[in-house]
């Protein structure tokens, strides 16, 4: 089974087969010093290795990896990769860097969300040696994989989120800042996990991304969209529609299970009608309804105080 597809002559999308195909990807930057954008979790290392092998590479051949943020589906394997490859460097947002070096708090937070599924979903999360971490500041350019990327601080989904822009190619590795959109399914799903969801910050992020001269968005979930303005407009609309939908139920005293059904009723019929049940199932793997609801509930509690019936 082929694991990769070409984005352009220097970039390859590696399908990490997170539960299913076309859910989670890593981008291989080709050249004399190959590199990755996103590691995925360590449960997907076999798929990553298979993808690299299709281009004559091993994990030990990589020079560096840039992670858009430190959530486990994006950066969970970074420490294991560093152990396998003693020269690998990891580029990361300044807020995320300490949690790569010591993932204790990150794992504690993830445990509250995923519970007994932690090992099955993410596998080993090893610390990244501090000397192998390179902190990248907002607006800073850095060379990786034979090209220059510019890091943009893009909070909203997470406070430790970067989008990496290849200005020459007019493409952006958008992590979760541009939402979830799967091949063959134009519906954009907002990924809104706790604890950092901030809709006002995300609005500013979308303003910033819309101001760029981009031809392509390289989404971690999943693949390439050639219509960045449409993706960003739809994500902005859906973030606010979901806010109003869930705020109504939260203010009425509905519990998380009822709020999950509200969100499912809003999005699931449209996705199934336009894209099929398979796409809906893959979106659920990429960002499940319960996690998304918990992000909004935390957001409401921080801004509005405890809910009242």
Identify the pLDDT of residue 307: 63
Beta bridge partners of 12: 6, 28
Task: Check whether 308 has a pLDDT greater than 80.
Answer: no
pLDDT digits (tens, 9 = 90+) for 263-275: 999 999 999 999 9
Q: Return mean pLDDT, the chain.
A: 95
Identify the pLDDT of residue 1: 73
Task: Check whether 309 has a pLDDT greater than 60.
Answer: no
pLDDT digits (tens, 9 = 90+) for 14-32: 999 999 999 999 999 998 8
In the numeric block, which tokens belong to residue 93?
A: 């947002």
Fold of 1-137: Metallo-beta-lactamase; Chain A (3.60.15)
Q: Which residues contact 303 (CB under 8 A, 6 or more apart)?
A: none
Give domain 154-309's CATH number out of 3.30.110.30, 1.20.1250.20, 3.60.15.10, 3.40.50.970.
3.60.15.10
- Indicate if 154-309 has the same CATH topology as 1-137: yes
Identify the pLDDT of residue 54: 96
pLDDT digits (tens, 9 = 90+) for 177-217: 999 999 989 899 999 999 999 999 999 999 999 999 999 99
Identify the pLDDT of residue 113: 81
* Domain positions in the chain: 1-137, 154-309
Q: Is 73 left (phi over 0), alpha (psi -120 to 50) or beta?
A: alpha
In the numeric block, which tokens belong to residue 188?
A: 């954009």
Task: Check whether 116 has a pLDDT greater than 90.
Answer: no
| Per-residue confidence band for 115, with pLDDT thresholds at 50, 70 and 90 | confident
Share of the chain above pLDDT 70, in %: 99
């Amino acid at each position: 089974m082929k694991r990769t597809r070409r984005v352009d002559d220097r970039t390859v999308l590696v399908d990490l087969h997170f539960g299913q195909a076309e859910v989670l990807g890593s981008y291989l930057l080709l050249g004399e010093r190959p590199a990755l954008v996103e590691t995925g979790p360590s449960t997907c290392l076999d798929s990553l290795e298979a993808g690299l092998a299709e281009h004559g590479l091993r994990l030990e051949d990589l020079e560096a990896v840039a992670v858009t943020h430190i959530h486990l589906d994006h950066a969970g394997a970074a420490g294991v990769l560093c152990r396998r490859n003693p020269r690998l460097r990891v580029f990361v947002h300044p807020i995320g860097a300490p949690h790569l070096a010591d993932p204790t708090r990150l794992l504690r937070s993830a445990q509250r969300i995923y519970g007994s599924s932690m090992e099955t979903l993410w596998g080993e999360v090893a610390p990244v040696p501090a000397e192998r971490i390179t902190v990248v500041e907002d607006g800073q350019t850095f060379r990786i994989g034979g090209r220059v990327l510019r890091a943009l601080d893009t909070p909203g989904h997470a406070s430790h989120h970067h989008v990496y822009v290849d200005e020459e190619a007019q493409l952006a590795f958008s992590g979760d800042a541009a939402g979830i959109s799967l091949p063959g399914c134009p519906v954009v799903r907002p990924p809104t996990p706790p604890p950092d969801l901030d809709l006002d910050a995300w609005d500013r992020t979308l303003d910033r991304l819309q101001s760029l001269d981009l031809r392509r968005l390289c989404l971690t979930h999943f693949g390439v969209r050639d219509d960045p303005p449409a993706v960003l407009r739809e994500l902005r609309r859906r973030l606010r529609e979901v806010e109003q939908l869930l705020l109504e139920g939260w203010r009425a005293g509905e519990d998380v299970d009822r709020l999950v059904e509200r969100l499912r009723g809003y999005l699931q019929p449209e996705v199934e009608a336009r894209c099929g049940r398979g796409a809906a199932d893959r979106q659920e793997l990429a960002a499940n309804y319960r996690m998304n609801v918990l992000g909004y509930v935390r957001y409401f509690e921080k801004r509005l105080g405890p809910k009242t019936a």
